[in-house]
Structure 1
């Protein structure tokens, strides 16, 4: 695609990156076939090809309008189009650049601006979000349905391991997961403890930066990333093997730290190292497959697995969760159109509830057709969103393994090992 970027952006790093991405696009249209919003709305401007055209116009100097902003806002950033694209167009980066430019040129209406500010400042700050979620859970029976869908029932996280091990990994606790589903990280810590790995939650770590970044507050998002790097770095220097992610949305963002901070002379090298160390849980556990099978035995469950977009399209990890569960005897089923987004997409289900609900209902219908005992996924947003549309339990897949280990310990307590102390 030929480009002629306007003076305001053509000589900037963002402009140069955007131009390279635009020039890679051949407008073949393969991306429209796998775009969830195009499938629902049938509008070319609500598909990747149309949005690329809109961004190109804006970067070439055409003044954007509220309509331009709406079409870009309605993108889920699921990046399914990147998986489909034969030319390797990095659409996710392009839409981030385009949205930020449009955000600076098109004033939002007061109500929209207030909602986005509340999401950026409230959801990403654990000290605000956690008490707010606890209050919501207390009042949950009284909440209207739309709000109740965003407030999962309160759950017990169980115990956190106290043993010390020579092998250590860093765990991102995150901003919303500890309040919404505290058992996920605790279950991960228990499983890794059984495998002889200690998980460390660094003081002062927090939101990965994804929430602010995808709401176009890039400067604040980069500060979130710098804070995490500072929190993790002493543990990296002490020899932590990996930075383990239990939420694929966070993992996709942290793996991008090296790129996003590459022009920061103080943080560029550290950010690149952090990205290299970051691993989704499904990348860690295959190395422990034999040990897991010995400890957990067989898990005889029928599971419909929903692979999050941030895992299969963002991180390009496919089949890993299924293989781990299959090795433990789980009958794992992928539903029809498993490549499509469930509609959660970070804050998308709050900002665009009608589209998100339709995508959720389509996904649930396909998942339930596999006749599962439960639904599993790998991202807190997907889990919460899907659970609001079904009576089947929706859990993180690591919780299945944690339950199996606990059951095996009850049957054969001698499996539990004596505490190991690092020397």
Structure 2
């Protein structure tokens, strides 16, 4: 008949699944590999892992060793938390085989070994992927600042970023000179997009710079990070994907093989610079059916320039609300990013120019009204639907002299210098 509960399954597990192999090492010195990093508002930093050998009591002095055996810090274990069902409960002693969270450390992180003071051999661990891009998170200083969000001061932004770095091993935070912005290093614009999206939903307003790839010098040669992209696509799109990755984005095809009926798996090594902004293009090229995974592969000598956005932008020269008639007249100049009645300000990017140079335009200009009427001349203004960018698209779209303004209700593009004279001065200084 129907079974009432899962007792039989649990009995099977107890009778046939072997006990943790670590139990055999109960009498050795304590060693644990930290596999996840967390934080608790009351306890502070938490490292979770499985005890590989020995026993550990609350209050014991232990040390943290890096992957290569360097001592990172020595600390007292203030709390040991064990998993009981879905909750965590405090326990007095952990033994080999237990999965526990430890509190008390300040510097130790994922892939470090927490062990007795007598131990000098760390456990084997996969290295953490280093950050590959940096983005500047600054205060929102546009004329529309503070209207949507409540968290706008740099102090509040800094606190939130530091809190994120406590529990997110892939993110590093540094202050910039002047203290108005913070340099956030991470593994890709998608990860940055998730962090920014979370922050805007919490009520933050930010200005975000274009992602910069982290380079390093080795024997006088500039090295850049390379990622291994593993792509599964339908056969018909494989040509377009390979062409994009290997030509404009400076990637190298490593392997291409069938992956089931009508599918192809492509493995390529692509510079991190080449993957900025690629995800959206990839989904367009594969009609939303492709799957793209990327992982840090290594460093390679700099591969030369990768073409970015070729078109210039249309910049508003007035503050106010955009007028349908003005936008209709500007459509022949390029693609619009704003709709009628949307608030715009001097220095805000309202569209993409059809040529390579930037153009200042007036989106507030109404129609000159006269008392002359002619049949057919007063037709309703019909506007082409605008392009709304996602956060990741906007971050990848901007150039170095531009910013993305992010508020809880809007994503706007703007020039770093809103005043046209300041823009000219800055361009001359760089020129």
Same-fold call, TM cutoff 0.5:
no
**Shorter-normalised TM-score: what interval?**
under 0.3
The structure with the largest helix share of the pair is 1
Computing the radius of gyration from Cα coordinates, the structure with the larger value is: 2
Q: Give the TM-score, by structure 2 length.
A: 0.24
Q: Give the TM-score, by structure 1 length.
A: 0.25
Structure scoring higher RCO (CA < 8 A, sep ≥ 6) equals 1
